[in-house]
Every structure is written in C-alpha cells, then in structure tokens.
Structure 1
Amino acid sequence: MPTSDAEGKDWSLERFRRHLPNTVTDIGPGEGTYARLFRPAHPGVWWTGIEIHKPYVAKYKLKSTKTRKMYDEIHVEDVRDSEDHLFHRDLVIAGDVLEHMPREDAVALLQRVEAAGAWHILVSLPIVESEQGEVDGNPHEAHVYQWDAGDMDQVLASLGGNVEAMHGGTLGVWWWSRA
C-alpha cells in the first residue's frame, strides 16, 4: 500500500535529526510518509522522489508547490532503472519498498545505492509474513519477497559501514551509515 505502519517512524526521525542530511532520495514515496515526517525537522532539505506508479504523484500531491513542500523533484520510473546520480545523496530511503521486488533485485539496488555514494540508507520493511497483492489497480504493490530481520541485517552488514537496527513487532527499520 502507499501507506506505512507507524512502527519505527519515531526511531527513524531520531536518526534523521542526528544526521540532518541536506539531500534525500525517497524510493517509492507512496503518499509521502517520510517527507511529511522529516521535512519539519530540517526544512532546507532537497527531496527527490522515485515513484513507479504515476497516479500516486497527483493523488498524493507529491510535487512541491509554493505553499506546500513535498518533493522538489519526482522521477516516475522503476528505481531499478534509475540513474545512479539519484543515489548520490546524504540519505536514500527505501521505506516499505524492497518487499515489492525479488530479493536479488533488492540486494542489487542497495549495493548500487552504496556504490553511488549515499552517506546513509534508511530501510523499513515488514519482518513478519505480509502477503499482499495488487492495491487500487497498482500491480507494483504486490509483496514479492518476505524478509526477516536477520536477512536484512546480513545484507546491510555486507555493505560495510555502520548499521543500527530496530526490530519491531511488524516492521524492521535499519539506518546504514558510510564508515
């Protein structure tokens, strides 16, 4: 769904406030959960969104206007086809998106994000059985892979750097930082 469980959001906001990134790419922003949550904590941030489902851009008013700040730039495309420069950011967010692709694609994406120069990566995803199909005509909402916390712990550890994790009852949240 284009929404996200509230679990781990306060934990994520604490890390955002600690690091205060100036540039952010949000992969699969959906309704803009992270932009709405983080922008008030550090208003001068440049936000890039990569959204695969074009109808969400208008439905959730993801593009910034003079009176409302959401995303300064939006790319409507499959993130697996995105240019690497979009990942050369202070923070790249993969919030409730990696479960929507095969595991090998998700791992390759995280490796690309790290190789492109991201300073921090925030990952949030279900760590319990979470079957989901198409939602509101969006086939990209289907859950393709069921992650567990230990699996993502290992994937992020393999990138090097430092990893902080919060394993909740439903979601796991990780903050990876370049060493």
Structure 2
Amino acid sequence: MPTSDAEGKDWSLERFSRTYLETVCDVGPGEGTYAKLFRPVYRGVWWTAIEIHRPYIRRFGLKNTAKRRDMYDEVHNLDAREAPEHLFHRDLVIFGDVLEHMPREDAVALLHKAEQADCWNILVSLPIVESEQGEVDGNPHEAHLHQWDPDDMDQVLAELGGRVESMRGSTLGCWWWSRRT
C-alpha cells in the first residue's frame, strides 16, 4: 500500500535528525511518508523521489500542484532498478517499505547500486513478519514478492561495509546503514 505503518518512524527520525544531510532520495515514496516526517526537521535539504506508479505522483501531490508546495524537489517516474546511478548519489537513500515489492536478488542489487553510487546513508524499513499482499488499487507494484527475515537484511547490509544500526519492532524492521564507521 502507498502508506506505511508508524512503527519505527520515531527511531528513523532520531537517526535522520542527528545526521547532516543536504540531499535525500526516497525510493517508492507512495504517499510521501518520509518526506512528511523528515522534511520539517531540516530546511534546505534537496528531496528526490523515484516513484514507479505514475498515478501516485498526482494522487499524493508528490510533484508541483497549483494548490500546494511540492513535497519533493525532483520526481522521477521510474523503476528504481532501472534508474540512473546518479539519482542514488545522495547523503541518504530511503528504501521505506519498498524492498519487499521486488525479488530478493533485485532488492540486494538495488542496495549495492546505492552504495556504489557513493550514497552516505541508507534507511531501510520493511515488514519482518509474514505479510502477503497482492495488487492494491490497480497497482501491480504493490504486491509483496519477498518476505524478509531480519537476520537476512542484517547480513545484506553488513556486506556493504560501514556501520549498521537496526530496530526490530513487532511488525517492521528498520535499518540505518552509514558509510562512516
């Protein structure tokens, strides 16, 4: 669904607020949960969105509308797996409730793509309980294609090097990977 469970958001916001950021890429923003939560913390941060489902861009006001300010400074209607590497060259890349919507090997490759693009931090949030889901509101990209085990995500992020912090809730797990050790 284009929304996200509240679990882990305070934990994520605390890490966001203690990290100096100038640029953020939000992959699969849906309704813009992270921009709504994080953007008021720092003014002047450049926000990029990569949204695969074009109707969400207008429906959730991700891009300029006559009635409200943009939620994102730059919006790309792309599959993140096919996005140019430079879009991941940011201080923070957010994969908030998006990696479960692709096969595991694609998700791992996407995390490596962000790391290889020299992003400084990666935030991952995803269900850590059985969470079957199919198409939602005509969006086939909402289907859950992989059920993540939190230990598996720990290992995947550890392989990137750097430092990893994690939070395991009752429904969601959150990970903050940083290039800085």
Match of 2:28 in 1: 28
Match of 1:130 in 2: 131
Q: Which amino acid aligns with 2:49?
A: G
Match of 2:49 in 1: 49
Which consecutive residues of structure 2, in runs of 5 or more, have no partner in the other structure? none
Q: Which runs of 4+ in 1 moved over 3 A?
A: 64-67
Q: Which amino acid aligns with 2:141?
A: H
SS of match in other structure, 1:68: coil
Contact conserved, 1:20 with 1:42, CA < 8 A, in 2?
Answer: no
SS of match in other structure, 2:94: strand
Match of 1:112 in 2: 113
- List aligned pairs for 1:65-104, cutoff 5 A: 67-104=68-105
SS of match in other structure, 1:19: coil
Identity among equivalent positions (%) equals: 73
> How many residues of Structure 1 are paired with residues of Structure 2 in the alignment?
179
Q: Which amino acid aligns with 1:54?
A: R
Residues in 1 aligned to 2:78 and 2:40: alpha-carbon distance in whole angstroms = 27
Query: Structure 1 residues 19, 64: CA separation in 2 closer, same or farther (over 3 Å shift)?
Result: farther
Residues in 1 aligned to 2:135 and 2:70: alpha-carbon distance in whole angstroms = 29
Residues in 1 aligned to 2:138 and 2:65: alpha-carbon distance in whole angstroms = 27
Which consecutive residues of structure 1, in runs of 5 or more, have no partner in the other structure? none
Residues in 2 aligned to 1:7 and 1:153: alpha-carbon distance in whole angstroms = 18
Residues in 2 aligned to 1:127 and 1:65: alpha-carbon distance in whole angstroms = 36
Aligned residues: CA RMSD:
1.0
Match of 2:141 in 1: 140
The answer to whether structure 1 residue 151 and structure 2 residue 123 are counterparts is no
Q: Deviations over 1:36-68 (max 9, x none)?
A: 000110021100000000000000000146852
Contact conserved, 2:61 with 2:70, CA < 8 A, in 1?
Answer: no
SS of match in other structure, 1:135: coil
